[in-house]
Structure 1
Amino acid sequence: MDEALLRSLTPTVIGILGRRGADFAAAEDAVQEALVEAVRVWPDDPPRDPRAWLVTVAWRKFLDGSRADTSRRRREELVQEEPAPGPGTETDDTLELYFLCAHPSLSPASAVALTLRAVGGLTTRQIAQAYLVPEATMAQRISRAKRTVSDVRFTQHGDVATVLRVLYLVFNEGYSGDVDLAAEAIRLTRQLAASVEHAEVAGLLALMLLHHARRPARTRPDGSLVPLAEQDRSRWDTELVAEGVEVLQAALARDRLGEFQAQAAVAALHADARTAEETDWVQIVEWYDELVRLTGSPVARLNRAVAVGEADGPRAGLAALAELDPSLPRHTAVAAYLHERDGDPVTAARLYAEAARSAHDLPERDHLTRQAARLNAQVRG
């Protein structure tokens, strides 16, 4: 059973039903029912033309549902006018679906859920497991999202930047349940890159590939975090690194720099260093300068302070950090790291413990707690 094929066909089939007159919500529901039927039937009776099979079954599911609707007469007239269900045209509706699912009227959480279901082809159960919420809760979220965009024209163009933010949210969720959301985000971003010529789409894909390449080295067998400087770089996926660098170079050559390209450039410089000591921190600071210029992001400024601390010394990093809002996430942890590098373990230990208390992520909290304990033991010794 080729689940990847099923999921890749989902946007196309939804688009075909949409052009035949189904509204988005009804088309998406019908396709989900067809996918369930495919999982049941295909292992014993695989179709010669998977897309045509899905279109036929999904259209039938749509008609079955519409007959019970108040618009039954209109739907029956539509059936008489429409050609027999089949493979449909070769029009690729993937891009329009991305825009629809990332509509600005949706909350980020709803946009992510709708994208995973309508574009990614995941079931409600899979999405719920990935986000560690009850299936009924996720079903309600998706249902509300579909109602929100029900009046949006299927061919209405949207904002690529909004789509990219949604995909980046998916990527950063990583892995939980039986769905690897980081891998799914890469798949969807590859799909988007094939549909649109846009330097920032390529920049996001490069960023995802370069970050994903380091994944095997990010945690120890017990699940604890391994900081970048301590990672075993022989465990990094060199093929993903090479692909990410190639995609980034092609994007930068278009001379339309954006925030994801700048972030990917930082990731590429980390990937290029054979050891942590060989990292080109001066260039990394320059890329963070570009990122701050492009976005004004406080998070970019915080990361820049770390890079300045590595390039010009911890005192310079602390000076850059002093210009930022102390309530920023990770501000206290960065201050702890820079104070440790500046030879002040007492202050660093206190700040690590403070950062641990405010950390929302359990592995990060454990990591910060261990850092504080290590320095306290060093001071007592």
Structure 2
Amino acid sequence: MYTHADSEVARELAERAERLMEEVVLPKERELAAGTAVSRGTVRELREAAREYEVYAPQVSEEWGGMGYSFRDVLPTFEEAGRSPLGATAMHVAAPDEGNMHLLELVGTELQKEQYLAPLVEDKLRSGFSMTEPTPGAGSDPKMVRTTAEKDGDEWVIDGHKWWTTQGVEADVLVVLARTDPDVHPYEGCSLFLVPAEAPGVDVERNIPHIGGTTRGVSHAEIVYDGVRVPEEHLLGEEGEGFSHVQQRLGPARLTHCMRYTGMAQRALDIATAYTSEREAFDSTIAEKQGPRFAIAEAATDLRAARAMVRQTADRIAAGEEARVDVSKSKVFTARAVNEAVDAAMQLVGGNGIAHDLPLAEFYTSARQFRYVDGADEVHKRVIARDEFADPATEELSPITRYRG
């Protein structure tokens, strides 16, 4: 799904992605039994098809096995991928691998790229991103990180307790955030590490039962790191720059999440318009009644605004800016728009909306996750409000306000 603001290159890529979705991914999704997770073999088939359609890992440079498209030009393709729970997996643009590949390409050494990035792109490895911790560790406030990494000779020793590590059960390598200097502020005293999942002391305790994501079948793991030793060359990026590197990863990742979810919401609306155009009640089709038409109109308008906001923010990132506040605004607005669009679609489809004959029920639970994933609404609102109050207005108060004062 592209707009007039997208380049011709972006449109051509998105058109190929749309053909893959219509001809391969959606038919495969419909073949799966309700509540069934896609098999690893099917994932490989889908990724082979994505290669044939020339939409496989478009966001990664050609040097490391991708297609070398710019971040801005892949956004419409990410939205196409979001139309099915299997789309992003097929094109290899799904979290957490997509964000981890981006991070490795940005700050990884040549050795790290050869050992981890190239195999990730090629689908020979899977990765997890291990940052969030259970109480009393770091959740919405990342400064509360308690996982530590201490230098011992030419090794780092990692101890800590993480959870919500997406794809943690399946991962071959884990990107772990840990405190490396307890005597300075966490923003300057944390670092990132590449931890092989089979390293002694890595204990994957469980896949946390959770809503959403049934078809994709990706875990959210609780992991204990007990005296895990990694060589010093497994430090990812600069020592003490863990939070800066996380922001380099999360800014673009939040926007790609936005695009995948707007794709999901758009398909939900497509299902609702198709259903209401056929279903009759009270002497006419549901689509002929004003209430449903207005619900679709409002949802479509909000999704259009979300697309524009994300693209504008992506342009700033492409220009070398962090654009943190705009990223937060995009994330909050898109999460709300997606939740309302999917909820409206379910309501319009009625009983069929909660049945797993259609993907709406899974969309609904997945969309609700989006208000937590990559930062809860409240965290992003805090960032936005801090920016708004950084330079308080000096406008003269209205006469009535002065009078009351």
Task: Work out whether the TM-score is over 0.5.
Answer: no
Greater relative contact order: 1 or 2 (C-alpha under 8 angstroms, separation 6 or more)? 2
Larger relative helix fraction? 1
Calculate the TM-score normalised by the size of structure 1. 0.28
TM-score normalised over the length of structure 2: 0.27
Choose 1 or 2 for highest CA Rg.
1
